[in-house]
Structure 1
Amino acid sequence: MPIRVKPRLLSVLFLWLALPSAASAQCMLCGKGDSGSVAANRKAETPLRIDIETQLDMGRVAAGASGGEVDLDPVTGARRLSGDVRDLGGFAVTGTVTVRGEPGAQVRIFLPTAVDLENGSGRTARVTGLATDLGAAPRLGPDGRLIFRFGGRLQVAGASDGDYRGRIPVTVEYQ
C-alpha cells in the first residue's frame, strides 16, 4: 500500500545576499575614494535586492515502498515522477525570484547542489539538481531587474510521509 507523502517546498527560501565581488566592493562605512572605476562605484552604491515571487512547491505525491523522485523543470514547469511515486494532485510550481540592482549589470546566481528538507517527525528528504531558466551570462535589464525561475529534483523515500519543508539559499552577486 502506498504511503502518502506530501512533499512541499513552501517556506523554502532563505536568501543569502552576497555583496558585490571583490573587484567592485568597497567599504560602506569609509569615505568615497578616487580609486576604482565609475562603474565599480555605481555597483557598490546599488546593492542587490532579492524578492521571492513564488516559492518552489513539488505538489502532492504518494510513494510506494521503494520511493522515487519528483522532478520539476524550471523552463517548462513540467513535473515528472519516476520510481514508485504516484501523483495525488495539487499544483507543482517552480520558484520565481526577482533580482534588482544596477541596470545592465551582469550577475552570478548560485544555488546549492543539494538541500535537505524535514517533516514534522524529523524525517528528511533531499532536493538535488537545482537549476534555473537563466542563460550562461545573466544581466539585469534596463530597469535594473532580472526575473528567473528555478526547479529541482525531490528524492522521496518510501517510508517517509508528511509535509516537508526546508530552506534553499540563493546567492546573487555582481559579476
Structure 2
Amino acid sequence: MGPRLFLALAMLAASTPVSAQCLLCGADGASGASAARQAEMPLRVEVETQLDFSRVAVGAMGGAVELDPLSGARRLSGDVVDLGGFAVTGIVTVTGEPGAAVRVILPTSVDLEGDRGRSARVSGLVTNLSAAPRLGSDGRLQFRFGGRLQIAGLDDGDYRGRIPVTVEYE
C-alpha cells in the first residue's frame, strides 16, 4: 500500500483561569495582596498563531512530526515524507500586571479528531519560555509552543483539535 496524504492543524483554545482566593482565609497579607492584584488586572491570553504541522505523507509504518518552538524547525521521523507547505509553531500573547510572574500550563497530550472518526495525538507540548516567566514592563509576554504529532499508518485525513493553555499569576 502506498503512502497516504495527511494534513494536520491543531487549533489553540486559550483559557485564562485566574482563581480567586478567599481574602479572609489567608494567614498572611501576601495572599490578600495577590488576590487583589488578580482582581484589578486579570490576565488576558490571545492566540496570535495556531499550531500547524503542515502536510505529510504517511506510510504503513506510521511516524511522527515534531515542531521545535525555539527554532521553528519541523522534524519528521518514521515512515513520513514531507509534502511541502508551511509548518508553524503556536504563538500566544499574555497581558496583565507589568512585571508579574506567571505560570503557563500546557496539557501532557491532546487528541485531535479527524474525518471518518479517526484521531491522532499531539504530545510533548513545550514552550520557549524561561523557567520563571514574567510579564514585561509593558504587561505583555509572548511565547511560542510546539510538540510532537504521532501518526498511525492507517490514519490519513485532516485533523483538528484544541490545545488548552492555562496562564496564572504566581
| 2:80 maps to 1:81 | no
The SS at the match of 2:161 is coil
Shift of 1:44: 2.6
Among 98, 106, 110, which residue is 2:105 paired with? Answer: 110
Alignment of 1:56-71 (within 5 A): 56-71=51-66
| 2:90 counterpart residue number | 95
Mark the runs of 5 or more structure 2 residues left unpaired by the alignment: none
Identify which range, 36-45 or 69-78, moves more after superposition: 36-45
Q: Indicate if the aligned counterparts of 2:8 and 2:159 stay in contact, CA closer than 8 A.
A: yes
- The equivalences for 1:12-161 within 5 A come to 12-20=11-19, 25=21, 36-37=29-30, 39-40=33-34, 41-161=36-156
Q: 1:8–1:60: 8 Å Cα contact kept in structure 2? A: no
| Percentage of matched positions with identical amino acids | 64
Q: Secondary structure at the match of 1:121?
A: helix
SS of equivalent to 2:51: coil
Q: Which has the higher helix share?
A: 2
**How far did 1:13 drift?**
1.5
**1:3–1:63: 8 Å Cα contact kept in structure 2?**
yes
2-structure distance, mates of 1:39, 1:91? 45
TM-score (norm 2): 0.91
| Whole-Å separation in 2 of the counterparts to 1:123 and 1:148 | 31
CA–CA distance in structure 2, aligned partners of residues 125 and 42 of structure 1? 40
Q: What is the CA distance between 1:107 and its match in structure 2?
A: 0.2
Aligned residue-pair number = 163
Higher mean displacement: 37-46 or 65-74: 37-46
CA contact (8 A) 2:68 2:74 kept: yes
Contact 2:14/2:46, CA 8 A, preserved across alignment:
no
TM-score, normalised via structure 1 length:
0.88
Provide the C-alpha distance between the structure 1 equivalents of 2:22 and 2:15, rounded to a whole number of angstroms.
19
